[in-house]
Amino acid sequence: KSYTSQIGVPLSLLGIADGHQVGVFEAGISREGEMEKLGKMIKPSIGIFTNLGEAHDDGFSSRDQKLIEKLKLFGTAEKVICRKDTSYYEQVKAQLGGKTLTWSLTANADIHVEWKDGEIKVDEKRFSTDFNSPTQLENLTHALVAALQLGLSEGQIQKGLNLLKGVPMRLELKRGINGCYILDDSYNNDVAGLRVALDYLESHKQNEKRTLILSDILHSDKEDEVLYQEIAELIKSRGIDRLIGIGTQISNHQQVFDLASVFFNDTEDLLTNLPPFSDEMILVKGARNFQLAQVVNRLEEISHGNVIGDG
């Protein structure tokens, strides 16, 4: 479930009980003025600024304005944990001043971090993990730094890491027809989410061939020409073998995609003219209103049960 909204945050805060020592709350916004209200509700003592992506860009006049609005969450925070080797760190520092507690893989920061196969090193402390995509490791590093600031021991933190599992409903890996595997992310679509899904796809090696089923990206503040050129470059950099595009916007810009590809006006058109699939990894990534769950259902391996008739 999601408890990051104007309704979700109060519901989450109502769960605080007398015996709790620490409360962890996530806050998200889609337009101006929302974060200031959430900040007054949560009143955090420690903050984590996770990232500044493209989600909800259309609700703000600019990315800079969205950043300023996000940082209003941390008015009461004594420290705000953030990654230093980002394009927006200097703006964060300008807004928060001496509150920032920085970590970095490359830059000179308060905390030095290294990501190695199966390990995250935070200064001299080492933690093992099965997660391996850059997005997952970044999220884990934010949590590790916060846990260390709260005084948890290495042993306590490692015990928690050992219990972590992937979140269901988003990025579910399913068995498909004809020896395929399906990575199901058919509930929302933006460039940042596409990067995450492609990272996740790269971490699964069941089949070498990779197909991306992608709908139009809605609610972006970029011109379509710029947006789909960026997507084309992203797809090319991740070694996708075949693209199946759904929607009029992506179809109108099919010339920018330099790989085997086919395009359909809508989901019904795709289901009527479904191409063949065999021994491949299939990432299904689409905005909710395209109802790509129908495509996932068509491609998913069917497990037949026994039925006792009455005849």
What secondary structure, in 3-state letters, does the chain show? Answer: CCCCCCCHHHHHHCCCCCCCCCCCCCCCCCCCCHHHHHHHHHCCCEEEECCCCCCCHHHCCCHHHHHHHHHHHHCCCCEEEEECCCCCHHHHHHHHHHHEEEEECCCCCCEEEEEECCEEEECCEEEECCCCCHHHHHHHHHHHHHHHHCCCCHHHHHHHHHHCCCCCCCCEEEEEHHHCEEEEECCCCCHHHHHHHHHHHHCCCCCCEEEEEEECCCCCCCCHHHHHHHHHHHHHHCCCCEEEEECHHHHHCHHHCCCEEEEECCHHHHHHCCCCCCCEEEEEECCHHHCCHHHHHHHECCCCCCCCCCC
- What is the predicted pLDDT for the residue at 311? 45
Token digits of residue 202: 């790269």
Q: Which residues pair with 245 in a beta bridge?
A: 214, 263
The answer, yes or no, to whether residue 219 has pLDDT greater than 80, is no
Spatial separation of the C-alpha atoms in residues 128 and 223, rounded to whole Å: 42
Question: For 164-186, what is the mean pLDDT?
Answer: 81
The answer, yes or no, to whether residue 244 has pLDDT greater than 90, is yes
Question: For 183-203, what is the mean pLDDT?
Answer: 83
- What is the predicted pLDDT for the residue at 134? 84
pLDDT in tens, 1-27: 678 888 999 999 999 999 999 999 999
Question: For 142-152, what is the mean pLDDT?
Answer: 96
- What is the predicted pLDDT for the residue at 107? 80
Higher per-residue pLDDT: 83 or 310: 83
The answer, yes or no, to whether residue 196 has pLDDT greater than 70, is yes
pLDDT in tens, 18-76: 999 999 999 988 888 999 999 999 999 999 999 887 666 667 888 889 999 999 999 99
Distance, C-alpha 18 to centroid of its chain: 33
Pick from 201-205, 272-276, 278-282: least confident:
201-205
Spatial separation of the C-alpha atoms in residues 97 and 109, rounded to whole Å: 15
Predicted TM-score (pTM) of the model is 0.64
Amino acid occupying residue 170: R
- In the structure, what pLDDT confidence band is assigned to residue 169 with cuts at 50, 70 and 90? very low
Higher per-residue pLDDT: 50 or 135: 50
Amino acid occupying residue 68: I
Rounded to 5 degrees, what angle do the CA atoms 229, 234, 237 make?
125
Closest CA to 256 of 283, 276, 231, 292: 231
Spatial separation of the C-alpha atoms in residues 152 and 157, rounded to whole Å: 6
